[in-house]
Structure formats: C-alpha cells, structure tokens
Amino acid sequence: MVHEYRDRIYIRKDIILKLYEHGELNQSKLMTYCGLNNVKHKGILDDMVKKGMITRIDEPWGNKAIIKYRVSDKGKEILKALLEPYEELFPRKVGTDE
C-alpha cells in the first residue's frame, strides 16, 4: 500500500514537472511524456484539475476539442515548496523496489 501511495505522489510530480518544462501540453503528449496510460491515469489529471494544481483548457478543433493542460500558480508553489525538497530527501532509486 505504501508503494502504491508513493507511486501516486511521483506521478503527480512528473505531471507538474512536464507541464512546467513545456508550458502547455495536450493530453496525449502529457501522458506519453510521463509514461502514463490515457485511460488508467485520466482520473489523476481530473483530480489535479479539481484540486487546482493544473488547469485544463478545452480548445475547439473542428467538431471536437483538444484537451490541453498547464501548471497553475498553486501547482508551481507545490512543486517548489514540497516536491523538490521531497525528491532531494527521498530520491527514487532506479532499478530497486525500495
């Protein structure tokens, strides 16, 4: 259970970092850059929008809409205040399950 919770933290950090690096990404590119599954992890994006960490932009494109995301000011504050120090204290160890 702890491992699963930790993974969710890192998924959110990765999403915020990718959006911070690129400014704005459509949903497909964001999921690809973060190595996430569009269907399985869409709820995480929705939750982050609901909590104000990222913003969702629906851009009309013909009779459809392109969904884009960017980091909100709250997301930038969280990234700087919490996630960067957390990563320094508890870095991911590549190749281990710890």
Domain ranges, ordered by start, for the chain? 2-89
pLDDT of 73 over the 60 cut = yes
Question: What per-residue confidence (pLDDT) applies to 96?
Answer: 46
Instruction: Give the C-alpha separation, 45 to 11, whole Å.
Output: 10
Tell me the pLDDT tens digit for each residue of 10-58. Answer: 888 889 989 999 999 999 999 999 999 888 889 999 999 999 999 999 9
Q: Model-level pTM? A: 0.76
Four-way CATH pick for 2-89: 1.10.230.10, 1.10.10.10, 2.60.40.420, 3.40.50.970: 1.10.10.10
* Torsion angle defined by CA atoms of residues 70, 42, 39 and 62, in that order, rounded to the nearest 10 degrees: -50
Mean pLDDT for the chain overall: 85
Work out the average pLDDT over 50-73. Answer: 94
